[in-house]
Amino acid sequence: MSVDPTTGGARAPFGERLAAAMDEHGPLCVGIDPHPGLLSAWGLADDATGLREFALRVVDAVGGRVAALKPQAALFERHGSRGLAVLEDVIAAGRAAGTPVIVDAKRGDIGSTMEGYADAFLRDGSPLAGDALTVSPYLGFGSLRPAIEAALASGRGVFVLCLTSNTEGEQVQHARDEDGVSVAARIASEAALLNHGVDPLGSVGLVVGATIGGAAASTGTDLTAVNGPLLAPGVGAQGAGAAELAQVFGAARRQVLASSSRGVLAAGPDAGALRAAAAAASSDVRAALRG
C-alpha cells in the first residue's frame, strides 16, 4: 500500500476505499460542475473568484457526507491557471474531508504524453492528484497503461469511458470487430482482467451513462464481471431514476456509483439546502441500487 499524506498511514486501494464510502454514505457522487449559468444562479461572477466560492462551498456543504466528489476539470480549466489553482484546492479540501475525489478530466493519449497525464493526476506529490481519474480508451485500451499503472501503484483508481449517454458515442462504442465483439464489451473485459480476484471492488472502473437504456445488453457488455465501480452520470436532473438504473445495470447495481450534479447544485448556494439535496439524492439512489 502507498502512504496517505493526510494520515501518514497506509493508503488502501481505491476500490476498497470507495466501496466503504458507498456503504457508509450511500452510492452517490456529487459532481462539482461550475457552469456559467450555475455561477450566475448562485449570484457569483463567472471568474476564478466566483469559481472558488462555488466549488469550495460545495465541498464544505457535502464533504464527508457523500461517497465521492467529482470536479469537472474543463470547467476549472476555462479560467486558466487561476482555475487550475482552484481545482487543486478542491482536491485538497476533499482529501481533508475524507471524501474520495474523482477528477473528471477524461485524459487519453499515447506514450510519454499519457505518462505526463499520469504524473499530473495520479502520482503522489502532484496537487492535481485526486483519488481517481476519468480516462478515454479510444486510442486503444493499452494506451492507458501508464495511467493504470500509476493509479494502482499509488492506491488510486481510474474510470474508463465505456458506454456514454451521448448518441455520437454509439458510432464507436457499439461498433463490432471481426469476431463480433463490440468496442464497449472489449473495454469492459479489459477492466475485468485487471480487477480479477479483487475484493470488494477493483480500482479500474467504467463510466456507464445512467440513461443508456438497454445498451449494455445490446452490445454484449457484461458489467457484473467487471468487478469494479461503475460511475453512472445522468442521475437526477438528466432524467435517470430507479427504473432507468435498474434497466441499465441489472445485476451490477451494487457496483454503481450514481453521479448527480445539477440535481444537487441547483439547491445552492445555501449550505443547508445543498446538504438536504445531497441527502435526498443519496437516499433515492441507495433505494434504487441497494434496496
Read off the pLDDT of residues 136-183 as tens digits, 9 standing for 90 and up. Answer: 999 999 999 999 999 999 999 999 999 999 999 999 999 999 999 999
Domain of 62, CATH number, reads: 3.20.20.70
Please determine, for residue 227, whether its predicted confidence score (pLDDT) is greater than 90: yes
Cα 198 from Cα 238, distance rounded (Å): 32
Q: How many CB atoms lie within 10 A of CB 202?
A: 26
Which among 267, 281, 224 has a CA at the least distance from the CA of 68? Answer: 281
User: What count of residues does the chain have?
Assistant: 291
Cα 107 from Cα 129, distance rounded (Å): 13
**What's the maximum distance between 2 C-alpha atoms anywhere in the chain?**
55
Residue 155's contacts (CB-CB under 8 Å, 6 or more residues apart) are 1, 2, 4, 11, 12, 13, 14, 17
The answer to whether residue 169 is domain-embedded is: yes
Please determine, for residue 4, whether its predicted confidence score (pLDDT) is greater than 80: no
Position 242 scores a pLDDT of 84
Please determine, for residue 95, whether its predicted confidence score (pLDDT) is greater than 70: yes
Cα 245 from Cα 228, distance rounded (Å): 17
Residue 106's contacts (CB-CB under 8 Å, 6 or more residues apart) are 134, 135, 136, 161
The answer to whether residue 266 is domain-embedded is: yes
Please determine, for residue 35, whether its predicted confidence score (pLDDT) is greater than 70: yes
Q: Which amino acid is at 85?
A: A
Catalytic residue, from 106, 174, 176, 262: name it: 106
* Residue 70 annotated to the active site: no
Which among 90, 24, 22, 10 has a CA at the least distance from the CA of 232? Answer: 22
Using CA atoms, how far residue 134 sits from 10, 78, 160, 204, in Å, is: 24, 18, 6, 10
Cα 243 from Cα 229, distance rounded (Å): 20
Q: How many structural domains comprise the chain? A: 1
Q: Containing domain of residue 140, as a range?
A: 13-282
The answer to whether residue 156 is domain-embedded is: yes
Q: Which amino acid is at 130?
A: G
The answer to whether residue 287 is domain-embedded is: no
Portion of the chain with pLDDT greater than 90, in percent: 91
The answer to whether residue 8 is domain-embedded is: no
Residue 269 phi, psi (nearest 5): -90, -5
Please determine, for residue 51, whether its predicted confidence score (pLDDT) is greater than 80: yes
Residue 34 phi, psi (nearest 5): -80, 70
pLDDT tens per residue, range 116-146: 999 999 999 999 999 999 999 999 999 999 9
